Structure 1
Amino acid sequence: MATIEQHTRKGPALKTGRGRKRKWGTQLARSWQLYVLLAPTLLYFLIFKYYPMYGLQIAFRDYLPGLGIWGSEWVGWHHFVRFFQSYQFWEIMENTLVLSIYELAVGFPLPIVLALMLNMLISHKYKRFIQTVVYAPHFISVVVMVGILFVFLSPSSGLINHFIVLFGGSPINFMASPEWFKTLYVFSGVWQGTGFAAIIYLAALAGVDPSLHEAAVMDGASKFKRVLHIDIPAILPVSVIMLILALGNLMNMGFEKALLMQTPLNKESSNIIATYVYEVGIQQAQYSFGTAVGLFNSIINLILLVTVNQIARRVSDNSLW
């Protein structure tokens, strides 16, 4: 009797499993073109994103290139403890957090404001001209942009210092002053990226039904009230998603820009996690220690991303997952 019951129980399960395989095979046969289009993207992530994670174990080993990853000695949390006990730890963390929060506070709302302003322009010709002007800086490379900063802010020949002297002030060596580094970093990024970042919000505003604005105008609503009650609710879901992504990437500052703007005189303010990893991991060839610091930074970003996403999910209906 037991064997009969076992067979009768296994029968539907086997049929269900076979049915699922057949159904999946049928879907694959019908949509194989889509899977072919998806294959390069999957291969890209597998090869360049997931396969390199194999090397993360370097952070837990005393890695020596001659011995390889598996041949190097396992040291556990040694490099993490070394970083936490380093005299530079709090300075690096403070610089990274202050610069990240400063950039988020200034750089996140400005694209929204710019998109709302552009959306309210009536003249399409003038609107296209303004869009071209504000988008153009995005296509300037970071190296060129930092070079422009050094030229314009030069204490001897810079245009900014010429104006300061003209009004009776003394020249300021901006790029060598720690107190100026964060402001220059953030506002140069605002100049370069605000216009292009506004495209996402302009796309969301383009989906607003024009009849809503027409009805609001008929009811006597001002432009400010139309923005407040029509445009802002329309871009709110996009804004929440962008905020989650920005907070999840809070600790990942632009490495190239920070390194190019860094000088021996402003290093106390410009030394962030990204530049520190480059210094110890590449320049000083401390591969395991540099990997440990980078892994710590990535874990903090992951925790922030998950936490902010959960908060957004509970407070509103918008979240990444």
Structure 2
Amino acid sequence: MMKAILLRLACLLIMMGGIGHAHATDAPRRVSVILDWFLNADHAALLAAQYGGAFARHGLDVHLIAPADPGAAPRLVAAGQADLAVSYQTQLGMLSEQGIPLVRVGTLIDTPLNTLIAAGNVRSLADLKGKVIGVSLSGADDAVLATMLSTVGVGMGDIHQVNVNFQLEQALMSHSVDAVMGAVRTYELIDLKQKGMTVTAFFPEEHGVPLNDELVFLAARDHIRDPWVRAFMAALEEGTNTLLNHSDEILSKAIADHPELDTPLNRAAWRETLPRLAKQPALLNARRYRAFTAFLRAHGVISHDVALETYAVDPFALVPETTP
């Protein structure tokens, strides 16, 4: 028993050594983070970790990069051109099945943001029968939409789908569709209401879809035990707490550096996003992840079962590899 306790303590000390604050003589480790989209309220915790000095205290020089292509972040990390990608849990199973060596090492937003938004006389999911629904992605979004409709006895053959190429708001506002699948409740939903549209939102997790993390951090599998990964997650946890305590101050600093954030939409999105931040970014909810992967498997989004450890880890639960 004593030997086991000492072994566990040794492992803990090794991990703690990897996340300790940098010494004054240590050069900061540069970490490039490719965002999922342009800089917005979803990234508030990252900004707080920068402005509050958490990244610097943990020996990191973090660079946030908005991609030209919203789908490029995972590919850039897999190609070794960036350290971390902000991506979606809904994509993890597909990336793993395709053999792309990326692993979830942390979470930014731990509640779903994906939403089905309808306009006009649609007041319930059943009202969507015979309607036109705009979509921008296939795969997981198709499975989510099919599941939601099935709860009211509506099949995919009972609706008309059109690809609107990420122009979800424009399609709804132009009345070319009756609803859109894949809009974000902390962005498009707010914007549509601010523009005076009367809309109804349906949330997947309330209509048969398992809970999932919206935004996660992906790292190359070869680097998941690197000390900088744990340092990044420890700093982000500190930054999130700073943000919750000083959200207005962090927003003011963000607007000073990024004037494009100074809009009614972004200010409202900032407030709406705060309660959705992952308070313990590294923590992995294994039950939820397995349930969502099983959901993707059941709906044919992925073709076979995928072991959790191949696509998602808690970096603090990993014993760092030792060099001979």
TM-score, normalised with respect to structure 1: 0.23
Q: Which has the higher contact order (CA 8 A, sep 6+)?
A: 2
TM-score, normalised with respect to structure 2: 0.23
Counting helix residues as a fraction of each chain, which structure ranks higher?
1
Structure of larger gyration radius: 1
